[in-house]
Structure 1
Amino acid sequence: MTINKTDNGARLANTILFPVVGLVLLAIAFSVALIAYTSRSADHAAMESERQLLRGSTQLQLEILAKEQEGAAVWDLADYYTRPLSASTQWLDANLGRWLYTNHGHDQTVVVGETGEPIYNALRGQQLSPDASRELISSIWPLIARTRAKFITRFRPLPSGLFVIERPLNGFTRSIHETGFALHEGELAFVSVTAISPELKQFVANRRPPAVLVSVKKLEGSRLSALETRSGVDGLSASPGADRPGATATFDLRSPLGMPIGYLTWTANKPGTKILSGVGPMLFFLAATIAGLTSVVLFYTRQNTRRLAESEARAQHAALHDSLTGLANRDFFADRFHDELTRWDADKGLIGVIYIDLDHFKDINDTLGHAAGDEVIREAARRLRVLVPDEATLARISGDEFALLLPGYASRTAIEHVLRRIQDRFAIPMYISGTHLHVSLSVGAAIAPEDSLSMGELLRKADIALYSAKGAGRGRWAFFDESMEEHVRTRENLAHALREAIGQDRLTVVYQPQTTIDGATVLSVEALLRWTDPKMGPVSPSVFVPIAEEIGLINELGLYVLRKACQDAAAWPHLGLAVNVSPSQFRHPRFIDDLRETLKACEFEPTRLEIEVTETVFADNDSNILSTLKQVQEMGIRVALDDFGVGYSSLSYLRRFPFDTLKIDRSFIADLEVAPHAHSILSTIIDLGEALGMKVVAEGIETRQQAAILQRTNCDRLQGFYLSRPVPPDSVPATEARLAADREPSAAISLSA
């Protein structure tokens, strides 16, 4: 029986041990195979990654070569001296061949004329016969052909029958070019072919192929070292020829004709092989230590348990903190706020709840990008974290808005001291994306128990105070008081009344004439919106238009004016109609569709309509704005730039965007009789509009003297109270008749006035 028990125990042990040992051995064998496969995969992936880096680096080097050409190729003089009738090899030698060699080290520079024949050739700054470049030209002819074809396709036909060449508006280079590789003096080289074109827009009767600038840089010496450094590979070398080298880490280079011309080789990084070399002895050791399997499993289980605990802690932290700044989030802030209010009693002092908002943060995102905006948020969080007391709770509750909880303060003055320190710290500019930014704060504060002991009420009142600080000019703080709430209530009532006025058609549109320079003939009328509320009386557009933008009614309000004006103007088919369009309405994705549908529904001729926009429409540098402008003009509608001269970059808008009319801001007109240089400035603006082919309208004319001064200029139209105040639609014909009657000599504008 003992023997039987021993045998049974051995069998039982074998039954347990052999499968375990077999499983472990099988697991080790599988692990060895998996590691070997993984190491090979890692080696291959690393080499492919290096190859991609090298491909990107060579492409960047080619783009840099094209960028070096841009200054010489996109040049009015270069375009002139490469034309058949004005070609000058002397000028090309001095300004292209020698200059590119001296400043950028171009080994060979060739200019291929409009006929496809070489007209200039220089080798390392020394001029050679153009015929000596034919072999090079033949080897890269596909690049030249594609460049010329791309140039031809850039010509855009105009309604006049002329063509205008459009170059790329963005990207690393603004030139039209093609790049590739070639053999130069038996060595591998970079090649870039750039179309020679004028700097400014030119209008031509016929499309013509361009002359092209060909630049060659050998891939040797310092250039090869720079490419190695940029791509991060080791032992980079260039091997010309069609025979593939023995090295496995190669990057094939082909000529523009598609023929292999050489290779780049380097010493590949093999992380998988290194790992396998280190793991091999351990695999042997693991095979001999099957007995330690249980300990390994226990250790692994313990590690997993610890990792799970750490993961749970990280998840809990992430649930209560902001990922961008590491500050508490809205939920954490609410919990802490609730706890403070629950524990509050009179002996613990005041509790201050502060809302902090970065001023004009949207402008930072629009101009510098969201990455810079994120860095501004992080820097603001760092500054606030350093300044707030230890017992305070600081949280980020939305995009650019922070909240601060200050418990246990003796007085409002003590809370103000904290706010003053914060404002003083933010007076120091931030250095973001290579730019010094002055980022100010608007701060709103509410205090418990003075304002309330309800968390919802305190947060609402802090938000009202923040809104008040912004309305008072930003860059300041404000504590809540009852008058602020009354202001918010009034604003909400105004917004509600505006919605009702639009829905019930209680808004009116009046029209102010735009006349000829003598003030006698009405050419067009500008539609102006007016609102008289039954309870509040007349409400200024400067009040209700911003409210419409804030509550999302501006598009509906703008369409109301457009529809009403088109219906009224149907009675005056001989007059043009000008309608103002707000920036928000102009950027609306359905603006073009709404405009087209309104004109169709009113059966209004698009050529009679002119929309007026201010340069704030273009503040975001949005490429879609130009597309919208072009679509408007393609419909036959004219576009006027309103309030010209008061923005910070009006001249750049005139160059970039196609306007039909220029409206001079009334501030220039008002200065005519008081400012010594106002007349000269006004004449310059009018001449500028005339030079750009735009109609010029002077608005805000209020005196006889102003009208007389403008009559001595080339201004096209006049508008203002002196000629006529805005009138209801049924008074437009009478206004026309009155202005025509005033043309009599006794009432006409005196030229000598």
Structure 2
Amino acid sequence: MVATRTDTGTRLANAILFPVVGLVLLAIAFSVALIVYTSRSADIAALNSERSLLKGSTNLQLELLAKEQEGAAVWDQSFFYSRPETLSTDWLDSNVGLWLFSNYGHDQAVILDIHGRPIYNSVRGKRHPVEETSGLLEDIEPLIAGVRARFIASFNRLPSGLYYIERPPSGFTRSLHETGMTVFEGVPALVSVTAIGPELKQFLSARRAPAVLISLKKLDPARLQGLAERSGVRGLRSVTDPDGAFASMELRDPRNAPIGYLVWQAQNPGSSILYGVGPVLFFLAATIAGLTGLVLYYTRQNTRRLAESEARAQHAALHDSLTGLANRDYFATSFREELASWQVGKGLLGVIYIDLDHFKDINDTLGHAAGDEVIREAARRLRVLVPEGATLARISGDEFALLLPGCESRERIEQMLKRIQDRFAVPMYIGGNHLHISLSVGAAIAPHDSLSMGELLRKADIALYSAKAGGRGRWAFFDACMEEHVRTRENLAHALREAITNNRLGVVYQPQTTIDGTKVLSVEALLRWTDAEMGVISPSTFVPIAEETGLINDLGLYVLRRACEDAAAWPHLGLAVNVSPTQFRHPRFIEDLRDTLEACGFEPSRLEIEVTESVFADNDIDILKILTQVQDMGVRVALDDFGVGYSSLSYLRRFPFDTLKIDRSFIADLEVAPHAHAILSTIIDLGEALGMKVVAEGIETRQQAMILQRTNCDRLQGFYLSRPVPSARIAEAEARLSGESQVAVSLRA
């Protein structure tokens, strides 16, 4: 009977467990296949992104080629000397062919007369027979025909019967042009065809086709390298046959005939991740298979069922449900046991706090489900690295703790921290997104720092704060000076709170002038703090503290209120006030702004708030609503420090800014960087095309001011024009700039 019951129990266990084992193995196989498929999909997505970036960079280079032609093509003298009755090939050679080669490195420049016949040919600045252009002209004939047709169509007829040429609308270029690709010396080349036209409006008795300027730039290794850097690809080269290359882009001429290929080394992030996690996946699969066998074996032992149930209950009480790691209670118990049994011969005891950087942003943008998956993945990576005998626990939401007993030296602990940081340098693939998660780590060591659990945990937490304050993505060991820094920070935060409450902060104003620097149009409010005991405190010191302690909204409202009160004395001037991202996203920002303007009786149209690109870290839709509400009040919005973010152009397209403030780094480069002037002019033209006022800030030299005076910039700001002054000296600054001052004289020189 007993044997029968045993056999029955065995058959029942087999009937349950064997299908379960099969399902587990099937799940493992499916998971591996899914990971391989996901890796391949990630590689394809990355390749498509690289190809799109490369195509966009190529198109940008074509537009820049047309822009370079503009100086020689949209010119009254070129228009004059290329006409049949006034043709001068010598003048064209000196002022077009040689000029384009010397200044922009155009490999070939060809000019066609109004009948479409070649009248001039230059190769690398040297004149060549025009007969050599027949093959080129045949290849790019669609571009030439398109430009000639567009030029003829640009004529408008007056009631008098005369015609005049209608200039293209302002934008990146003022010329009529067509661009494409062709072959030059057996290598793919960029080609731009531009109609030669007058700078000013001219009146003609009849419409006629234009003379045409053709420029080529060969895609030599140097230009390919530049194109690769701008596109973010590696190993870019030009070939006639891709030979099955995974990463390639076909090039076609204006007649849609293939002329070659661009090939490069694809990044293949999915394959890289797969290779990185392959050993771990194999280990996990083997572990799961082994555990499944153990479960099968132990489940058959009826006498062990109760013990296993009790063990599971105990594990649940001491482990985190999300990650399976030890929880706070288990960690505390292990910590006490290690401290109680610690002896000199056991070596050092390290306690480490690990915090995921910017984890809140993941929850806010991708949702809590993605946040949970990040926590699980972080736990999996840490668990693999933890040595035997150590205790790894999840302490709170995104914070982990690691207990390392028996360490020979601090260097061994540093080696462990380096391995952890290196492991997290590999991005996580969560919910279809590649997330780069960094860690901030703080460590304390017993017995050097203490033999008290409370003190060691406190000092590890101080070290963690120091690591975060130092820029995140790093580790820090506790040092006595850190405690002093914490106390100093707390004292500074307390003093700042009192300074706001007791109106002890100062506001100065830096003028924004007209382009000639002689008239003040607006002023920017800048906060200053001089404490009776600590002296002058830089905004770079106290503003981050205000952000961390929640004082930033009170601080921003203080500046706004003081600036509106002071600016009431200058009704003819505008007022610019910086708003921090935290203040801008505050739920009561709109109400606080409206209440402040009403309380001060300040005209909203005089106020301009300045925000940086970091304000867009959260939901774009919510930010757009706030910007719209601000402008509905009559207040203008400026994008500050434009150009330093990688996605500045997308912000200009999506958000309704009134003013563009060019970052001071572009102004500083004017006297040292060879292409800084062209970049600056492009930014100013971009702002003008989008209907925005453009302000150049950070002007510190006469040369910078003179360069900007030759652009379409609307306002200037900087120490060269005026340093920030107290409110009582605004009138003095206006008088100095509008009179026969040194600044005005130098700007007009």
Q: Smaller-chain TM-score range? A: 0.5 to 0.7
Q: Return the match for 1:403 from 389, 401, 404.
A: 401
SS at match of 1:748: helix
* Deviation of 1:309 (Å): 9.5
Give the alignment of 1:407-556 within 5 angstroms. 407-556=405-554
Q: Give the Cα separation in 2 of the matches to 1:418 and 1:653.
A: 42
Superposed CA RMSD: 2.3
1:573 counterpart = 2:574? no
The one-character-per-residue Cα deviations of 1:703-753 (angstroms, maximum 9, x if unpaired) are: 11111111111111111111110000101111111111137xx86355685
Q: Which residue of 1 aligns with 2:744?
A: 748
Give the alignment of 1:155-554 within 5 angstroms. 317-554=315-552
Give the alignment of 1:69-80 within 5 angstroms. none
How has the CA–CA distance of structure 1 residues 602 and 315 changed in structure 2, closer, same or farther, with 3 Å as cutoff? farther
SS at match of 1:693: coil
Q: Give the Cα separation in 1 of the matches to 2:601 and 2:748.
A: 45
Q: Are the counterparts in 1 of residues 661 and 697 from structure 2 also a CA contact under 8 Å?
A: yes
1:649 maps to amino acid: S
Q: Give the Cα separation in 1 of the matches to 2:664 and 2:556.
A: 23
For structure 2, the residue ranges without an aligned partner over 5 or more in a row are 1-303
SS at match of 2:448: coil
* Deviation of 1:558 (Å): 0.2
Q: Return the match for 1:633 from 621, 631, 638.
A: 631
1:534 maps to amino acid: A
1:671 maps to amino acid: D
How has the CA–CA distance of structure 1 residues 599 and 665 changed in structure 2, closer, same or farther, with 3 Å as cutoff? same
Q: Are the counterparts in 2 of residues 668 and 678 from structure 1 also a CA contact under 8 Å?
A: yes
Q: Give the Cα separation in 1 of the matches to 2:334 and 2:500.
A: 45
Q: Which residue of 2 aligns with 1:61?
A: none
The one-character-per-residue Cα deviations of 1:340-387 (angstroms, maximum 9, x if unpaired) are: 223333333321100112233344444544333322211111111121
Q: Return the match for 1:591 from 581, 589, 592.
A: 589
Q: Return the match for 2:726 from 725, 728, 749.
A: 728
SS at match of 2:550: coil
How has the CA–CA distance of structure 1 residues 751 and 474 changed in structure 2, closer, same or farther, with 3 Å as cutoff? closer
Q: Are the counterparts in 1 of residues 354 and 401 from structure 2 also a CA contact under 8 Å?
A: yes
My pick for the range that moved more, 652-661 or 322-331, is: 322-331
Q: Give the Cα separation in 2 of the matches to 1:353 and 1:346.
A: 17
Runs of 4+ in 1 over 6 A off after TM superposition: 306-313
The one-character-per-residue Cα deviations of 1:406-458 (angstroms, maximum 9, x if unpaired) are: 12323323323322332332233333333443333222110111101111110
Aligned length: 447
1:341 maps to amino acid: L
Q: Are the counterparts in 2 of residues 521 and 739 from structure 1 also a CA contact under 8 Å?
A: yes
Q: Which residue of 1 aligns with 2:558?
A: 560
Q: Which residue of 1 aligns with 2:604?
A: 606
* Deviation of 1:598 (Å): 0.9
2:661 maps to amino acid: K
Q: Which residue of 2 aligns with 1:219?
A: none
2:721 maps to amino acid: L
SS at match of 1:727: coil
1:674 maps to amino acid: V
Q: Give the Cα separation in 1 of the matches to 2:724 and 2:619.
A: 34
TM-score w.r.t. length of structure 1: 0.57
Q: Which residue of 2 aligns with 1:685?
A: 683
Q: Are the counterparts in 1 of residues 349 and 407 from structure 2 also a CA contact under 8 Å?
A: yes
SS at match of 1:415: helix
2:728 maps to amino acid: D
Give me the identity figure in percent.
83
The one-character-per-residue Cα deviations of 1:183-207 (angstroms, maximum 9, x if unpaired) are: xxxxxxxxxxxxxxxxxxxxxxxxx
Q: Are the counterparts in 2 of residues 356 and 442 from structure 1 also a CA contact under 8 Å?
A: yes
Q: Give the Cα separation in 1 of the matches to 2:691 and 2:322.
A: 51
The one-character-per-residue Cα deviations of 1:593-649 (angstroms, maximum 9, x if unpaired) are: 111111111111111111000011012234211111111111110001000111111
How has the CA–CA distance of structure 1 residues 741 and 457 changed in structure 2, closer, same or farther, with 3 Å as cutoff? same
Q: Give the Cα separation in 2 of the matches to 1:741 and 1:315.
A: 85
2:725 maps to amino acid: V
Q: Give the Cα separation in 2 of the matches to 1:544 and 1:389.
A: 42
Q: Are the counterparts in 2 of residues 353 and 447 from structure 1 also a CA contact under 8 Å?
A: yes
* Deviation of 1:396 (Å): 1.0
My pick for the range that moved more, 478-487 or 311-320, is: 311-320
My pick for the range that moved more, 495-504 or 470-479, is: 470-479
Q: Are the counterparts in 1 of residues 441 and 467 from structure 2 also a CA contact under 8 Å?
A: yes
SS at match of 2:744: coil
Q: Give the Cα separation in 2 of the matches to 1:514 and 1:435.
A: 44
My pick for the range that moved more, 540-549 or 374-383, is: 374-383
SS at match of 1:654: helix
1:699 counterpart = 2:697? yes
Q: Give the Cα separation in 2 of the matches to 1:686 and 1:420.
A: 46
How has the CA–CA distance of structure 1 residues 623 and 317 changed in structure 2, closer, same or farther, with 3 Å as cutoff? farther
How has the CA–CA distance of structure 1 residues 481 and 701 changed in structure 2, closer, same or farther, with 3 Å as cutoff? same
Q: Which residue of 2 aligns with 1:653?
A: 651
1:380 maps to amino acid: A
Q: Are the counterparts in 2 of residues 707 and 749 from structure 1 also a CA contact under 8 Å?
A: no
Q: Give the Cα separation in 2 of the matches to 1:716 and 1:687.
A: 11
Q: Give the Cα separation in 2 of the matches to 1:575 and 1:428.
A: 52
Q: Are the counterparts in 2 of residues 340 and 407 from structure 1 also a CA contact under 8 Å?
A: yes
SS at match of 1:399: coil
Q: Give the Cα separation in 1 of the matches to 2:358 and 2:568.
A: 43
Q: Which residue of 2 aligns with 1:39?
A: none
1:450 maps to amino acid: H
Q: Which residue of 1 aligns with 2:194?
A: none
Q: Give the Cα separation in 1 of the matches to 2:424 and 2:731.
A: 59
The one-character-per-residue Cα deviations of 1:279-308 (angstroms, maximum 9, x if unpaired) are: xxxxxxxxxxxxxxxxxxxxxxxxxxx999
For structure 1, the residue ranges without an aligned partner over 5 or more in a row are 1-305
Q: Are the counterparts in 2 of residues 359 and 441 from structure 1 also a CA contact under 8 Å?
A: yes
Q: Are the counterparts in 2 of residues 704 and 749 from structure 1 also a CA contact under 8 Å?
A: no
Q: Are the counterparts in 2 of residues 708 and 749 from structure 1 also a CA contact under 8 Å?
A: no
SS at match of 2:321: coil
